[in-house]
Amino acid sequence: MHTAGWAFLLLFGALFEATTANANVITFNDRTSFLATSSVNTIDFEGIVPFNGAANYVYPFYQSLDPINISGVDFSGIITLQDGSKQSWFSIVGGSNVPFTVDGTASITGPYSYNLGAQGNQTGRLTVDLLGAYTAVAFDFNTDNRPEFPEFDFIGYLTNGDSFTAHAQRQSGFVGITSSTPFTGFFIDLPIPAQFNTITRLNIDNFSFGDATIPEPAPGLLIVTGALLLFVIRVRATQNSE
């Protein structure tokens, strides 16, 4: 291929990278690999006074629809009832006697989605506002270990338009993502379970947020390089014609 052809492909590739970089999300399913690419702060939810003062964080539900700020991050878990009204169904729980902690220590639980048969469905949304722009987020998660809480897939929608997916089950899982475009938070709409009279619930722990430390490809540099190469080719062509 002639040099001009290579230059055109390089410039085209740079322009393509520039238009698709905003959709570039890398997903991790283990914390070690995620931490190798990111510099983050982690909220483990330990030592937080329960909202209702109960011991062992047992069912200390946060009743306000306003988010609760924990270590500089706003968390909220809201369910929407059949009539359209909203309730907060959100708590920090802990202790080995609570069946839906992630690792046996304190974690966030809620919200819920219900399949209530003839009574209609209730949907739940977990919202996390980072109160700043970041490029990396991760957390451990699971669902309840009782039979009325099935496994389910969920999608996290980032504020920059990107998204990530994961599968919640009774055993603890992990999801971490880095994005080439900064985001300020995300939300997760819990799916309504298909089984009669069952519930989906998402518990999260060890919530990490920060910035990816491995740089994404720089499309601007590729564009400049391609343009310079085309310029050199044109100059040489002009000289050869004289």
Q: Using the predicted structure, report yes or no on whether residue 195 has a pLDDT greater than 60.
A: yes
Mean of the per-residue pLDDT values of the chain = 76
- Same domain for 10 and 66, yes or no, is no
Q: Is the pLDDT of residue 221 over 60?
A: no
Q: What is the pLDDT of residue 134?
A: 97
CA dist 99 → 116, 120, 171 (Å): 22, 27, 12
C-alpha distances (whole Å) from 209 to each of 32, 74, 178 are: 15, 12, 10
Looking at the structure, tell me whether residues 121 and 207 fall in a common domain.
yes
Cα Rg, the chain, nearest whole Å: 24
pLDDT category at 83 given cuts 50, 70, 90 is: confident
Q: Are residues 173 and 55 in the same domain?
A: yes
- If asked whether residues 86 and 197 sit together in one domain, one would say yes
Mean pLDDT of 25-38: 95
d(CA 99, CA 38): 32
Say whether pLDDT at 5 is over 70.
Answer: no
190 and 105 inside one domain: yes
The mean per-residue pLDDT over the stretch 152-179 comes to 93
In terms of domains, do 72 and 191 share one? yes
Instruction: Tell me, yes or no, whether 169 and 236 share the same domain.
Output: no
Q: How confident is the model at residue 18, as a pLDDT?
A: 33
**195 with 99, same domain?**
yes
Report the CATH number that the domain containing residue 200 is assigned in CATH. Answer: 2.60.120
The pTM for the full model equals 0.75
- Judgement on whether residues 8 and 70 belong to the same structural domain of the protein: no
Q: How many residues does the chain have?
A: 242
Please report the pLDDT score of residue 214 as a whole number: 66
pLDDT digits (tens, 9 = 90+) for 117-144: 655 578 889 999 999 999 999 999 988 7
pLDDT band per the 50, 70, 90 thresholds, residue 163: very high
Q: Are residues 2 and 113 in the same domain?
A: no
pLDDT of 49 higher than 70: no
> How many domains does the chain contain in total?
2
Task: Map tokens 């601007």 to a residue.
Answer: 220
The answer on 91 and 43 residing in a single domain is yes
User: Residue 34 is part of which domain span?
Assistant: 25-215
Out of 3-17, 25-39, 222-236, least confident range: 3-17
Strands 121-142 and 91-93: unpaired
Please give the share of the chain, as a percent, with pLDDT higher than 90. Answer: 33
Contacts of 226 (CB under 8 A, 6+ apart): 7, 10, 11, 14
78 & 146 share domain: yes
Q: Note the pLDDT of residue 58.
A: 40
